[in-house]
Structure 1
Amino acid sequence: MRLIPIVTAILVTAFLFGVVVERDRLLAFTRGNGAETVTSEAPLPAAPLENDIPEDSSKIRVVAMHSQAQMIDSAVVLRGQTEAYRQVEIRAETMGRVISEPLRRGASVSRDQELCRLEPGTRDALLAEAKARLAEAEARIPSSQAVQIEAGARLEEALINDNAARKLSEGGYASETRVASAAAAVKASEAAVQAAKSGLESTLAGIESAEALVAAAERDIERLSIKAPFDGLLENDVAELGSLLQQGSLCATVLRLDPIKVVGFIPESEVNRVNRGAMASARLITGQEVIGKVVFLSRSADALTRTFRVEIDVDNQDLAIRSGQTAEIIIASDGAQAHLIPQSALTLDDAGTLGVRLVKQDNIVTFNAINLLRDAAEGIWVEGLPNEADVIIIGQEYVEEGVQVLPVFEEPA
């Protein structure tokens, strides 16, 4: 029973030996040639075609292009969005119930227009009380001044008596008791003058305190009327009639959209190419194009993105531009000599520097670092190359600096 598997294994082994080791003999046998022909005649190598013979087998063929520098407007291209020129959330400064009819979102408002009015409550009574205290304090001034004048007169009389007593005492006509009594009267008069002065100062302080209470009450009443700080549009409905506003509660949000700001963020590699006052244009996501000027360029970079905020003011009298629309921003900059090359021609050197490989004299390859300016439909504009350069566009990854190559030149499409 075990003989059949053994025979099968031997046959399979012989077949594989014939296919792998004796392949040439097996092919010759199937074509009808004898084994002696295969063994006696060695196969001749195929003759190379004329086009396959390179000029120099040690050189690598590359495709290059002649490039001439051109003067271009090296505008800075960014992506950003529109923002309201001014936006403020108007909140209540005091507590009260809304008693005014609400304005609806989208309504136009003018500066100092009332948006919310709060119920006065007892504020009028508090103001009347503060004014009464002020009047009472002011009425005390004449009496306090009279007391001060009387105390001053008594002090003068006491000084005269004291002077007379001293002179009579020197002549032996007044006793020491009279002199001491006159001196005591002077001190008592001085104390009365100080008390009168303090009383007048207290009256004046009471007047200032009453005036402060009146001003606080009047200011609290003024806060009952919440007004728009500038001309604009309501972004949301104002507080509803009958609602209770606490101090700090939102009454309304007002936007000013004319002019409107277009905001972008410039990378630190290009921030020196933008100046305040430079002309700029923006294309909105809707296709609308607008023109404005750079009015702000941040001096401090964002901590996360390392970019600098730039703001452009754009006229928006018809309010067609809304806040928050995506925009492609182009900021004018000084012109530059640049080359238009395919993006595929870019490569990196061993240090990771971005550049291209050029064909120099005697077809020697060199590496040239470049700076990217902007993209175009035909390729990319770069600077940092000589006015005339032979840029390797195919095969630059297979050669290195100092290698001699066989360049084939193409003109860019």
Structure 2
Amino acid sequence: MRLISFINALLVIVALYFLVFERDSLFAFAGRDDADAPAAAEGENPDAAAEDAVRVVAIRSQAREIDSAVLLRGETQANRQVEVLAETTSTVVSEPKRRGAFVESGDLLCELDPGSRPASLAEAMARKLEAESRIPESEARLEEAHALVAEAEINLTAARKLSETGFGSETRRISSEAAMSSAEAGIKSAEAGLEATRAGIEAAAAEVEAAQREINRLTIDAPFRGLLESDTAELGSLMQPGSLCATVIQLDPIKLVGFVPETEVNRVQVGAEASAQLVTGRQVEGRVTFLSRSADETTRTFEVEITVPNADLTIRDGQTATIRIAAEGAKAHLLPQSALTLNNEGQLGVRTVGAGNIVDFAPIRVLRDTAEGVWVGGLAETVDIIVVGQEFVIRGVTVAPTYQEASQ
């Protein structure tokens, strides 16, 4: 049985070889003389030439204006998502809020036991008041030191004049100079005491501020208007710096995040209109608010974000979306996918009917793939495209086209 199958396959291969590569010889063997072909080409027998032409079906396609939108696959993403963490150590004394609850900015999420923190704040405030009470005494000492300097300066001036005229002793002058030096030292000491008092006040104020900040950390509030993605910390649970109180997300507005290929990135502009179809079938519209300037190292694509209103919060985080970003329009032809073919170099294109019904190949670029067909660019304004039989002809072959309506 295997031998018979092998023989049958070999016979089929031989038949295909003669049918494709030795077509003229085969027709001559069958009684059809190809010598008539030159005569037909010279106009001696056009009917015979028409019979030899390959019959194909073509459409006369007219280019139409389309919005050459950039198509992406992406997903929805919360506009903001924050894990609200504790900044101090204490136990939770508030009832927990359950996930899914709506919170406004500033709403209480977790309240912690104050413990001895109020007493620490009162102690720091008392030290600050005590330090502030020393200010008048220090200032009075400074004023007294200045008065002593003024008195010592008068005495020194008088002693110098008396000494110069011979009415005062040299000892008195030296004593007045010593008193002057002592008074100046007293000013420096008073100034140092005043500065020390002021430094004590600043230190006490810093202690008060630290104690107040520690008390403020006992209440953990919502940073913005949104939804709880997780329960808040349970009553009685111990919180430490970095412990999770709750996760809050903001879904209005919501973002659509996709990645643009590097070949299309120049067609996307910040502020451009965009639309998307969610996996649920819902259509949404928004605008491009962000386009990355740096490509992903692995995929060589650029992240793009579209902001979409979501007042009713029905669009959820993480839904798959097909995104269309508006771009400059272009002329294109709507063709059936089956009309596309490859040339010998592997280039994608279509086979067309040119002058004299001679087949030609035209490369194309695919702009959009839809249920009705493929929108392609790179062709002339009007072109005859072979849609049936294009795989059986090559460039330069004469065909006998039958035209059908482009809408078919």
> 398, 405, 412: which one pairs with 2:397?
405
Query: Are 1:165 and 2:155 matched, yes or no?
Result: no
Write the letter of the residue equivalent to 2:97: L
Other structure's SS at 2:211 match:
helix
| Offset of residue 369 of structure 1 | 4.5
Which residue is 2:342 aligned to? 347
> 60, 67, 76: which one pairs with 2:70?
76
> 314, 318, 326: which one pairs with 1:332?
326
Is 1:349–1:355's contact at 8 Å kept on the other side of the alignment? Answer: no
Q: Distance in 2 between matches of 1:285 and 1:361?
A: 48
Among all aligned residue pairs of Structure 1 and Structure 2, give the percentage whose two residues are the same amino acid: 57
**1:346-365 alignment runs, 5 A limit:** 346-347=341-342, 350=345, 354-356=348-350, 358=352, 360-361=354-355
Q: Distance in 2 between matches of 1:124 and 1:340?
A: 76
**1:47-58 alignment runs, 5 A limit:** 47-48=31-32, 55=49
| Offset of residue 182 of structure 1 | 1.9
| Offset of residue 408 of structure 1 | 4.3
Write the letter of the residue equivalent to 1:347: L
Q: Distance in 2 between matches of 1:100 and 1:236?
A: 16
| Offset of residue 349 of structure 1 | 7.2
Q: Distance in 2 between matches of 1:363 and 1:209?
A: 98
| Offset of residue 282 of structure 1 | 1.6
Note closer, same or farther for the CA distance 1:190–1:395 as it changes in structure 2 (3 Å cut). same
Is 1:347–1:397's contact at 8 Å kept on the other side of the alignment? Answer: no
Which residue is 2:109 aligned to? 115
Larger mean Cα displacement after TM superposition, 295-304 or 332-341:
295-304
Query: Are 1:86 and 2:80 matched, yes or no?
Result: yes
Which structure 2 segments of 5+ residues have no match? Answer: 1-27, 38-47
**TM-superposition CA deviations, 1:229-250 (whole Å, max 9, x none):** 1221111111001100110100
Which residue is 1:128 aligned to? 122
Is 1:362–1:404's contact at 8 Å kept on the other side of the alignment? Answer: no
Is 1:59–1:404's contact at 8 Å kept on the other side of the alignment? Answer: no
Write the letter of the residue equivalent to 1:158: A
Query: Are 1:66 and 2:60 matched, yes or no?
Result: yes
Write the letter of the residue equivalent to 1:406: T
**TM-superposition CA deviations, 1:195-230 (whole Å, max 9, x none):** 111110110111011011101101110110001112
Compare CA radii of gyration and give the structure with the larger one.
1
Is 1:266–1:309's contact at 8 Å kept on the other side of the alignment? Answer: yes
Larger mean Cα displacement after TM superposition, 284-293 or 98-107:
284-293
Other structure's SS at 1:302 match:
coil
Is 1:347–1:396's contact at 8 Å kept on the other side of the alignment? Answer: no
Note closer, same or farther for the CA distance 1:165–1:291 as it changes in structure 2 (3 Å cut). same
Is 1:285–1:326's contact at 8 Å kept on the other side of the alignment? Answer: yes
Query: Are 1:386 and 2:386 matched, yes or no?
Result: no
Larger mean Cα displacement after TM superposition, 372-381 or 198-207:
372-381
Query: Are 1:228 and 2:212 matched, yes or no?
Result: no
Write the letter of the residue equivalent to 2:217: R
Note closer, same or farther for the CA distance 1:396–1:172 as it changes in structure 2 (3 Å cut). farther
**1:262-411 alignment runs, 5 A limit:** 262-344=256-338, 345-347=340-342, 350=345, 354-356=348-350, 358=352, 360-361=354-355, 368-391=362-385, 395=390, 399=394, 404-409=396-401, 410-411=403-404
| Offset of residue 155 of structure 1 | 0.9
Note closer, same or farther for the CA distance 1:47–1:358 as it changes in structure 2 (3 Å cut). closer
Which structure 1 segments of 5+ residues have no match? Answer: 1-43
CA RMSD of aligned residues (A): 3.0
**1:105-254 alignment runs, 5 A limit:** 105-254=99-248
| Offset of residue 324 of structure 1 | 0.8
Is 1:120–1:224's contact at 8 Å kept on the other side of the alignment? Answer: yes
Other structure's SS at 1:405 match:
coil
Which residue is 1:8 aligned to? none
Q: Distance in 2 between matches of 1:99 and 1:203?
A: 41
Q: Distance in 2 between matches of 1:398 and 1:169?
A: 133
Count of residues paired in the alignment: 365
Q: Distance in 2 between matches of 1:183 and 1:357?
A: 117
Write the letter of the residue equivalent to 1:48: R
Note closer, same or farther for the CA distance 1:239–1:408 as it changes in structure 2 (3 Å cut). farther
Which residue is 2:4 aligned to? none
**TM-superposition CA deviations, 1:106-145 (whole Å, max 9, x none):** 1111221111011111111111110111011001101111
Q: TM-score, normalised by structure 2?
A: 0.80
Note closer, same or farther for the CA distance 1:168–1:339 as it changes in structure 2 (3 Å cut). same
| Offset of residue 165 of structure 1 | 1.7
Q: Distance in 2 between matches of 1:382 and 1:357?
A: 13
**TM-superposition CA deviations, 1:165-197 (whole Å, max 9, x none):** 222222122333322222222222111111111
Q: Distance in 2 between matches of 1:209 and 1:245?
A: 29
Note closer, same or farther for the CA distance 1:45–1:244 as it changes in structure 2 (3 Å cut). closer
